[in-house]
Amino acid sequence: MKTLIRNARIVSPDLEIPKGSLWIENGKIAGVAGEGTEAPAADQEIDAGGRLVVPGFWDIHCHGADRNDVCDNSVEAIRHIAKRKLQEGVTTWLPTTLTQPQDKLEEIAGKCAEYMKNPEFCRTPGLHVEGPFINRKNAGAQNPEFVRPPDFGELKRIHDIAPALIVSIAPDVDGANEVIAKAAEAGITSSAAHTSSTAAQIREAKKHGLKHLTHFCNAMTPVHHREIGVVGAGLTDDSLMLELICDTIHLCPDMLQLIFQLVPIDRLMMITDSMAASWIGEGEVKLGGLDVLVSDGKAVLKEGGALAGSALLYNEGVRNVAELTGLPLPQIVKATSWNQARSLGIEGFGKLEAGYHADIAILNDDFSVWKTLVGGEER
């Protein structure tokens, strides 16, 4: 099957073609060309109408969407979330778990593994296991009842059911560095989360294999003039990758501008951290058994008012970053898929170049999603 996308504004990391064509063969990009270059014959054509054509987004931290949650422990919930993600321009996502009992986490991994056998919508290469190895004092919207000491055996049992690509863990908790080291040996990326770590503890965890900071600035130690904390470590360390929730709520507009100004774009990864609140507008939902109120795009715990994940759609986060930072789109799209795939060691994704998988989002001028292709096919 050969597909031609023509009359497109093509944007890829460090590349922009104002009016170009892109052709796809056997699920991969076969070529990209500018105006005036004759494209090969194709079985089907898509006239992009001047729309923005970018690499499909990677949401590596997403708990749910549209009243469905990964922790609902249902294959149908996973399917519905993946379908909604696709409608946001996301072509790859990592179902993200919460701090829950071990037996339930293993059951959830089993449901995810079942969906992974036939991923009808987004690609789903593995899980993001957020908790249960966090600092109870920084639990945020994680259920403190199920917080427990780091145990690689628990993580390994989940990993054996469905690949755990990321584990979010608090480096300041006893035993965390041992788990981080064993996770690295198993090919699992460790990310600091829900933590009271000092900057020194983050640097020590890095020696054991820590690579990411989960939902940067949220549920972690802020910058102080006598201790720069996890946030300071993230701003100054040239190797840590930072997850960013770009809803202008978890990070206010000024903070988003500051981060994009201070931190090289190659270290930034846009996520949603969305949960069942996304797509619903307003109402009440559950998060890990906790009641959540959703109003005006903001999701908070009914008891205590802590932010409870987001109601963000991925494409809206991209629009926010474009409007707030003014950065060129060929730079912004590094943080929407290329950096995520590269940080996880998954090759062939995140660029619109010959040989890369034809995972593509086609966006209108307002960043709403017109079409999403996975392996060159509209799903």
Residue 200: which CATH number?
A: 3.20.20.140
Predicted pLDDT at 107: 98
* CATH number of the domain enclosing 42: 2.30.40.10
Do 39 and 108 lie in one domain? The reply is no
Active site residue 66: no
Same domain, 141 and 283: yes
- On whether both 10 and 93 belong to a single domain, the answer is no
User: Same domain, yes or no, for 6 and 64?
Assistant: no
* Structure confidence by residue, pLDDT tens digits, 15-24: 999 999 999 9
The domain of 32 spans 2-54+352-378
Can you tell me whether residue 291 is helix, strand or coil? strand
Same domain flag for 310 and 372: no
The residue with greater pLDDT, 298 or 212, is 212
Q: Would you state the pLDDT for residue 303?
A: 85
**Angle between helical axes of 253-262 and 314-325 (0-180°, round to 10):** 70
In a shared domain, residues 41 and 102: no
CA pseudo-torsion sign 53, 115, 77, 288? negative
The average confidence (pLDDT) of the chain is: 96
Quote the percentage of the chain above a pLDDT of 70. 100
Do 226 and 246 fall into the same domain? yes
| Domains held by the chain: number | 2
The partner residues of 224 in beta bridges, in order of sequence, read 227
pLDDT tens-digit map of 186-208: 999 999 999 999 999 999 999 99
Residues 269 and 331 both lie in one domain:
yes
296 confidence band (pLDDT: 50, 70, 90): confident
Quote the pLDDT of residue 250. Answer: 96
Per annotation, catalytic residue among 59, 72, 247, 273 = 273
Find out whether the peptide bond into 132 is cis, omega within 30 degrees of 0.
yes
Burial class (CB in 10 A: 0-12, 13-18, 19+), 181: middle
- For residues 44 and 69, state if they share a domain: no
Sheet holding 57-62, edge to edge: 57-62, 90-97, 127-130, 164-169, 189-192, 210-213, 241-245, 268-271
Q: Is the pLDDT of residue 288 over 80?
A: no
pLDDT score at 206: 98
The Cα angle at residue 26 between residues 361 and 45, in degrees rounded to 5: 55
* Intra-chain end-to-end CA distance of the chain, in Å: 15
pLDDT at position 286, please? 82
Q: Return d(Cα 4, Cα 25) in angstroms, integer.
A: 9
Helix axes 75-86, 102-117, angle to 10 degrees: 60
Tell me the whole-structure pTM to 2 decimals. 0.97
Predicted confidence (pLDDT) at residue 156 exceeds the cutoff of 80: yes
Give per-residue pLDDT as tens, 6-41: 999 999 999 999 999 999 999 999 999 998 788 788
Query: Strand 360-363 and strand 57-62: pairing?
Result: unpaired
Q: Residues 33, 160: one domain? A: no
The answer to whether residues 323 and 186 belong to one domain is yes
Do residues 151 and 239 share a domain?
A: yes
